[in-house]
C-alpha cells in the first residue's frame, strides 16, 4: 500500500498538543485544527479548553482507551463522507503512550490517508537535556504497575546497551526507582518533570541518588544502557570462584556476589552455569 499524503483525499491528521506551555503548539497544528471537520479527542473538556484559548470552534468527539473500538468506525464514516478529521490527546503526540493507535490502524486498513504532524512530546526534550548518550535510544513508555511484572520487564531490558526512556507518574515513582536499583544497579539517570512548565525540574545523577524522590508532576526517566555487561565480565565469576574456595557453597557465593553488584540472583546463577 502506497500513501500519497497530500493528494487531496479525505485524511486523518494526528495533531500534537502542548504538554505544558501553550506556546509550543505549531502554526500548522492550529491550521489543521481549524480546517478539519471534526476532532476526536481523549477528553473533550481538556481539548475544549485548548480550542477556546485559540478561538477555534469545532465539533468534538470523545475517543479514548475505553471506547476506541467504537469510535474507529465513526472515524471511517466521516472519511467516507469526504470529511477531514483529526485526533488529539490531552497532552503531547497521539499514540505515544496515549490513545489513537486502534483508530489509525483501522483507517489505514480502509485505505484512507493518515498524516502525522511534528510537535510536542515529552521524551525528546528529556533526552536532549539529560547529558546521557542520545543515540541509539529505546523509548519504552510506562512500566507495569505491578512489581512482579515491572521487574520482569526490567530484566528483559537489562542487558541492552542503548539509552532507555520511561514515563512514570508521581504516585509510582519511588516504587519504580527501587525496582530499577534492584534489577539494573546504580546506573546514570536523568529525571525530568513538568517539562515546558514554570516549575520544570531536572534531576541528574545515579539511580541511588533519587531512590526516595518525592515530587509532583509527570516524570520522564532517561537511563544509560548497560555499560557493565556482566555476561562479558569475568570478574563476577572469579569472585564466585574465590568465595567457593573460601568454603561458601555455590548458592551462597552467587548470593553474595549478586547482592554486592546489584545483579539479579537467578539471572547471575544461569549465566554462571552457562559460562564458557
Residues 22 and 75 in one domain: yes
H or E stretch at 166: strand 163-168
As a whole number, the mean pLDDT across the chain is: 93
Residues 27 and 95 in one domain: yes
Residues 247 and 217 in one domain: no
Residue 21 counted as domain residue: yes
Residue 5 counted as domain residue: no
Residues 132 and 175 in one domain: yes
Nine cell digits for residue 58: 469545532
- pLDDT at res. 70: 93
Residue 2 counted as domain residue: no
Our CA angle for 95, 100, 102, nearest 5°, is 115
Residues 214 and 129 in one domain: yes
Residues 188 and 142 in one domain: yes
Residue 143 counted as domain residue: yes
- pLDDT at res. 79: 98
Residues 185 and 134 in one domain: yes
H-assigned helices in the chain: 27-35, 44-53, 68-80, 101-109, 123-128, 147-157, 173-184, 235-245, 250-261, 265-273
Residue 197 sits in a domain of what CATH number?
Answer: 3.30.950.10
The whole-angstrom separation of Cα 273 and Cα 173 is 35
DSSP string, 192-238: EESTTSTT-EEEEEEGGGGTT----S-EEEEE---SS-TTS-THHHH
Residue where a domain terminates, one of 116, 134, 160: 116
Residue 55 sits in a domain of what CATH number?
Answer: 3.40.1010.10
Number of domains in the chain: 3
Contact 204, 190 (CB under 8 A): yes
Within 13 Å and on the Cβ side, how many CA atoms surround 241? 8
- pLDDT at res. 272: 84
Can you tell me whether residue 199 is helix, strand or coil?
A: coil
Our CA angle for 97, 100, 105, nearest 5°, is 120
* Residue ranges making up the domain that contains 206: 123-223
Within 13 Å and on the Cβ side, how many CA atoms surround 270? 4
The whole-angstrom separation of Cα 268 and Cα 258 is 7
Residues 22 and 110 in one domain: yes
Cis previous bond, 60, omega within 30 = no
pTM for this predicted structure:
0.81
The whole-angstrom separation of Cα 120 and Cα 156 is 29
Q: In angstroms, how far is CA 52 from the centroid of its own chain?
A: 29
Residue where a domain terminates, one of 75, 95, 116: 116
Can you tell me whether residue 83 is helix, strand or coil?
A: coil
Q: In angstroms, how far is CA 9 from the centroid of its own chain?
A: 32
Residue 4 counted as domain residue: no
Among residues 229, 226, 214, which one has the least CA distance to residue 170? 214
Nine cell digits for residue 242: 574465590
CB atoms inside a 10 Å sphere around CB 79: 21
Residue 229 counted as domain residue: no
Residue where a domain terminates, one of 66, 98, 116: 116
Residues 73 and 142 in one domain: no
Those residues of the chain that have pLDDT short of 70 are 228-234, 262, 276
Residues 162 and 255 in one domain: no
Residue 135 counted as domain residue: yes
Residue 230 counted as domain residue: no
- pLDDT at res. 233: 59
- pLDDT at res. 269: 85
Residues 254 and 215 in one domain: no
The whole-angstrom separation of Cα 134 and Cα 138 is 10
Residues 27 and 56 in one domain: yes
Amino acid at each position: 500500500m502506497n500513501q500519497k499524503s497530500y493528494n487531496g483525499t479525505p485524511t486523518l491528521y494526528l495533531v500534537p498538543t502542548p504538554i505544558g506551555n501553550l506556546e509550543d503548539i505549531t502554526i500548522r497544528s492550529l491550521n489543521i485544527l481549524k480546517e478539519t471537520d471534526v476532532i476526536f479527542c481523549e477528553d473533550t473538556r481538556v481539548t475544549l479548553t485548548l480550542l477556546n484559548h485559540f478561538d477555534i470552534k469545532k465539533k468534538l468527539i470523545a475517543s479514548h482507551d475505553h471506547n476506541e473500538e467504537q469510535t474507529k468506525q465513526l472515524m471511517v464514516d466521516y472519511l467516507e463522507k469526504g470529511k477531514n478529521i483529526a485526533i488529539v490527546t490531552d497532552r503531547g503526540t497521539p499514540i505515544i503512550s496515549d490513545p489513537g493507535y486502534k483508530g489509525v490502524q483501522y483507517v489505514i486498513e480502509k485505505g484512507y490517508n493518515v498524516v502525522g504532524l511534528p510537535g510536542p512530546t515529552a521524551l525528546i526534550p528529556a533526552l536532549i537535556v539529560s547529558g546521557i548518550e542520545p543515540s541509539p535510544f529505546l523509548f519504552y513508555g510506562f512500566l507495569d504497575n505491578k512489581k512482579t511484572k515491572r521487574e520482569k520487564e526490567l530484566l528483559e531490558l537489562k542487558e541492552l546497551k542503548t539509552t532507555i526512556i520511561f514515563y512514570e507518574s508521581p504516585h509510582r515513582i519511588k516504587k519504580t526507582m527501587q525496582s530499577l536499583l534492584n534489577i539494573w544497579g546504580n546506573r546514570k539517570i536523568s529525571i525530568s518533570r513538568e517539562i515546558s512548565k514554570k516549575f520544570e525540574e531536572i534531576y541528574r545523577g545515579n539511580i541511588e541518588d533519587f531512590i526516595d524522590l518525592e515530587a509532583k508532576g509527570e516524570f520522564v526517566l532517561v537511563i544509560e544502557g548497560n555499560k557493565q555487561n556482566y555476561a562479558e565480565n569475568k570478574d563476577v565469576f572469579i569472585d564466585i570462584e574465590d568465595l567457593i574456595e573460601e568454603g561458601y557453597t555455590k548458592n551462597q557465593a552467587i548470593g553474595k556476589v549478586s547482592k554486592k553488584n546489584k545483579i539479579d540472583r537467578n539471572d547471575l546463577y544461569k549465566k554462571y552455569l552457562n559460562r564458557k
